[in-house]
C-alpha cells in the first residue's frame, strides 16, 4: 500500500473480508454545497451505500495523508472549512502531501486514490469535461484524462450541464473510455435526464454493468469506465429553466474573469441561486441515486 495512504478502520476491515466498497469524492462537500447541507448530504450518501450492501469510502487529503474512508468528524471538518480547503486535482497531490495540507478530492483525484486503495467503483454527481469555448481556452477537465488511464468504474449523472457535452463525448471516445447509459441510450445532462447526445451502450442491470467492467479488467485495459445514470424523473429539472440559468451563470463568470478550477464551483453555486435552490435538491437526489447504483454494482462485482 502507498506509504501516504490511510484506510479507515471500516474500509480496512471491508478489504480484509472481501466486502464491496464504493469510493466517494469530497469536493462536493467543500466546494459543491453550502454548510450544513453538504455534511448532511455526505452522511446520507454514505448511509445509502451501506443500505445497498456496500461500504462507503469517502476520499480526501487531510494533514498531507491520502484518506480512503473518513470519520463523521472529518466530514464535518471539510464541510465547515468549505472553499478554504484546496480543490485537489492530480497535480496538487505532491504539494499537499509534502506540505502536510488538506485537500478535497475531485473526480480525477478520487479515482487515483481509490485505485491506490484497491477500490474499483466510485459514485459521484457529475464528471467534469470539455468546457464551452474550449477550442480557444483549452479548458478540459483532468477527469477525462483520469478516466483514460485509471481502471475505476465511475457512476455519475452524466457530465455537468455547464459543459460542452458533445465535445466531452468526442474526447472520451478518442481516449477509448466506454460511456454506458444505465437504462438509457442518451447521455444524461446532470439536472436533466436527456441531452440529445447518444451513449456508446445501454445496460439495464447492475449484474450486466459488473460483467462488462469485469471483462474490461480481464482484457487488461488501462483506463476506466463511465456509467451515466439519469436523475430520477421526479427530481429532474425543466431543461429550459436550467439552460437559462446556466447561460446567465456563464456570462457572469466571463464578465467577472472567473477561470481555472474556480469556474465549476462558481457556476454551480450561481445556478443554485438562479433556480431558487431547486438545482441543489436535484443535485442531492442524483448523487443518492448514483450511490445506490454504484453499491449494487459493487456487490455484483464481488460475487
How far is Cα 270 from Cα 293, in angstroms, rounded to an integer?
Answer: 29
The grid cell for 74 is 472529518
Q: Which of 15, 67, 160, 261 is catalytic?
A: 160
Counting DSSP H helices and E strands in the chain, the numbers are 13, 11
3-state secondary structure of 68: strand
Whose cell is 467543500? That residue is 30
Q: Which of 10, 25, 76, 146 is catalytic?
A: 25
Q: Is 160 a catalytic residue?
A: yes
264-277: burial string, b at 16+ Cβ within 10 Å, e else: bbbbbbbbbebbee
Whose cell is 474512508? That residue is 69
* Catalytic site positions: 25, 160
Amino acid at each position: 500500500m502507498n506509504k501516504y495512504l490511510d484506510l479507515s478502520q471500516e474500509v480496512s476491515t471491508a478489504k480484509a473480508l472481501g466486502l464491496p466498497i464504493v469510493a466517494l469524492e469530497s469536493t462536493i462537500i467543500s466546494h459543491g454545497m453550502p454548510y450544513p447541507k453538504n455534511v448532511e448530504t455526505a452522511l446520507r450518501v454514505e448511509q445509502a451505500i451501506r443500505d445497498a450492501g456496500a461500504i462507503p469510502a469517502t476520499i480526501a487529503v487531510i494533514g498531507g495523508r491520502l484518506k480512503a474512508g473518513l470519520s463523521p468528524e472529518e466530514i464535518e471538518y471539510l464541510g465547515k472549512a468549505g472553499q478554504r480547503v484546496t480543490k485537489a486535482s492530480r497535480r496538487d497531490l505532491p504539494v499537499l502531501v509534502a506540505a502536510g495540507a488538506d485537500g478535497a478530492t475531485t473526480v480525477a483525484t478520487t479515482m487515483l486514490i481509490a485505485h491506490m486503495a484497491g477500490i474499483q467503483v466510485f459514485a459521484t454527481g457529475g464528471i467534469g469535461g470539455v468546457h464551452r469555448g474550449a477550442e480557444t481556452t483549452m479548458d478540459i477537465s483532468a477527469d477525462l484524462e483520469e478516466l483514460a488511464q485509471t481502471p475505476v468504474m465511475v457512476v455519475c449523472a452524466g457530465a455537468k450541464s455547464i459543459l460542452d457535452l458533445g465535445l466531452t463525448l468526442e474526447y472520451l471516445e478518442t481516449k477509448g473510455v466506454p460511456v454506458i447509459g444505465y437504462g438509457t441510450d442518451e447521455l444524461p445532462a446532470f439536472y436533466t435526464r436527456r441531452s440529445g447526445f447518444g451513449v456508446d451502450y445501454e445496460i439495464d442491470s447492475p449484474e450486466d454493468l459488473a460483467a462488462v467492467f469485469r471483462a474490461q479488467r480481464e482484457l487488461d485495459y488501462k483506463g476506466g469506465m463511465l456509467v451515466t445514470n439519469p436523475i430520477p424523473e421526479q427530481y429532474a429539472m425543466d431543461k429550459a429553466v436550467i439552460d437559462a440559468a446556466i447561460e446567465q451563470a456563464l456570462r457572469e463568470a466571463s464578465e467577472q474573469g472567473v477561470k481555472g478550477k474556480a469556474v465549476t464551483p462558481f457556476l454551480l453555486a450561481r445556478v443554485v441561486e438562479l433556480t431558487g435552490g431547486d438545482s441543489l435538491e436535484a443535485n442531492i437526489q442524483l448523487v443518492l441515486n448514483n450511490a445506490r447504483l454504484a453499491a449494487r454494482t459493487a456487490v455484483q462485482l464481488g460475487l
